[in-house]
Amino acid sequence: MPLTPSFRRLWCCAALLAAASLGTACGASEGTANQGQPTPSPEPPGSRFPAPTNPFAAAEPAAAGANPAAPRTDMAAPTPNADPTAYNPLTTFEAWVIQQKGTERAGTGEYTDHEAEGTYVCRQCNAALYRSADKFHSGCGWPAFDDELPGAITRHHDRSHGMERTEIVCANCQGHLGHVFTGERMTAKNTRHCVNSVSMRFVPQGQPLPKPIVLRPKGS
């Protein structure tokens, strides 16, 4: 049986009313179901993307409980070189006498007539050389000693300037000191160490002696 236009309009209105009633019921049931549930907080910016990772983290695992942002303290500090690399600095004149075997003019040295009690050490390396108790006035124009501290001095045969002499050097650094003479009978020991003042430093009695500078031989 064909539908008349009036019946069609009535049927459409009924369908619309039914759809509206169904939507209201669904909205009410959803609202009732969400009652008492916490409102979700908005996501922080960037939460949908993973944080950047350190590509080297696997090679250096962090210790348990360590703060990855803190600087590392487990790395060994460089070991300072405990060995000295040079002797005491010298002036041009000091280097000429000590290293080039020069000689200061007679009567000009600061220790020629020095009489205080103490110890004379090498100016270049601080090694102890002579005691004031072994010093005497020779009248030659340079400091004179009739003995040395044990092991402090090394002797070399010297034929320079057309003379036959015995050179004395510091046993530790080989710095030139002067020459030694025997047979002059100036003291009971019959020995005279004729030493350049500039090759020595004086340490008064009661003061600590400086630590000798001992260099390793090259290649060791």
Catalytic residue among 122, 125, 170, 194: 194
Residues 200, 2: Cα–Cα separation, whole Å: 138
- Residue 200 is given by DSSP the state E
C-beta neighbour count of 170 within 10 angstroms: 25
C-beta neighbour count of 212 within 10 angstroms: 15
Residues 173, 128: Cα–Cα separation, whole Å: 12
Q: Does residue 170 carry a catalytic annotation? A: no
Residue of 198, 78, 81, 193 lying closest to 130 (CA atoms): 193
Q: Where do runs of H (alpha helix) occur along the chain?
A: 5-34, 92-100
169: its two tokens: 């050097």
Q: Which residues are catalytic?
A: 194
